[in-house]
Structure 1
């Protein structure tokens, strides 16, 4: 009888201990453990993060970081960390939080527009994904990659088509580059390639001309007409004489791409650079900036006309006056020079 009581007592104590243990386990896994007020919070975990770094990142968001750490240890997360961008929702428990940061890496909407240089592109991308600008520049300038895929140091900017793309935040520089090459080939579909062929231009040459068109006018509706002018000149072997190419040549010559040049001077036209289309015939060696899609399509769908010249229209700012003859162009140009002199724009 006495032995029976001891067995019952021990069993009761065991049940209590099991109950306490179960309660603690339940609490560690299933009690809500967030303290932020928003409906959700984003967590960025670097690819090389250790568990201490994860805890440091999560501490401002969680009510009890120790219970999270204990749960993460039990579930093996602390030794199997995955980099990425994750969402933690208000009221999540440790079980849900661990599931979220273990296997629910979400994409970001990465976007870039018409960047001036490859350095600008690297900076723009680095501000949106984990890869830094140094690793991105190394990937962008990789001569073996460029040669293998038909680009060089002058044309490499043409590979990046401005748009919005889905990426994981923890994307490496090489992965970003690989996807951009795939997007480049997707953009240059059979229809666009055929249009380029009709113009007797390669896709890179189209992008090069588009970069000039893009710089000449911000008016999307005017770009096909501007493109038509340059295509007329190319067809007839006339120098492009495009001011934006001279400005690019000046920036390249000085190494200062931040300078603002509002007026091209006659002495600038003497600069010996393959980008100076007042001295050298045909297209520049590569894009003078990153053209957007509207500029590329403006070249591929250029307006058919007899214009060979254009100059800024001071009566309709942002647009240009077009001319078929040099005498007509010179009259239009005189009006523009009077205006620019009146504004005392010397550079």
Structure 2
């Protein structure tokens, strides 16, 4: 009789009982066709006799691989979403009249990318570990996620280049919506940010006759820098003035609402000197702009057109519905998984992929 360890059986116990290597046990569960019929029979009998259940960690010990994909994201939570809801007393039904509060935003860019990663991992039968961290260090560290997976997918503005450089020496890395910095052996998948904003600005100028523009939103980070270049380029091609700086430089809807309110409070004359169009760097920014304009009684698109970028569902149900540049967010996630698996299979960096975007015309720009 073969002696095995007490307690929960391990991959080593199965290997000992079957008289094979731990790598063969792992192949039995992941690639049984690579084993002979006799070996499969011996391992199967040992598994049944011991009651062994494979784990990702055990497979990782046997093959130096876990089969797991890591995803590291940034937090797009609005500040008030981090607080838990306050409920009334059990057995009571509270009645409230609610107005003037914007609805919750979901799903956002990072949610849609995660959905794409989940879909591709499901089709490939890959386990997935996910983590995020915000600017106040809430969440988990990148190394906690990378240490559990064979490779990691990283969303923009989450870690420093130095951190990525160190990580890429030991793990395959795929960057989403960001270029690969110098000295980093990583793949990337992004979209045509510059071309998308150039197209929506061109539409406003050529099809709606807009001649004066504001730009709202962040210009920090590669994707937002590219969007502003697209805006700037379209205006310069037409000899139209380019704003010296964004009207507001915020990203989230809540911060945009605060910033736009403050701008109109500081300079009430803005309400009577509006541009023809406000081009926003994201849908979240655009929805914040729309919310404050509605508060002030400013009609969109009659008095000013507003456009966004991303294509989140909230823009479809806003009032008016938001004209936007839709990026294939779920496809970003799916392509990231494909690149990661290609890197693992070939032991070589696959390179970079740029996906096309789509201009979605709705009423906020003046289209029917």
- Structure with the greater relative contact order (CA < 8 A, sep ≥ 6): 1 or 2? 2
The structure with the greater share of residues assigned to helix is 1
TM-score, length-scaled by structure 1: 0.28
TM-score, length-scaled by structure 2: 0.27
The structure with the greater share of residues assigned to strand is 2
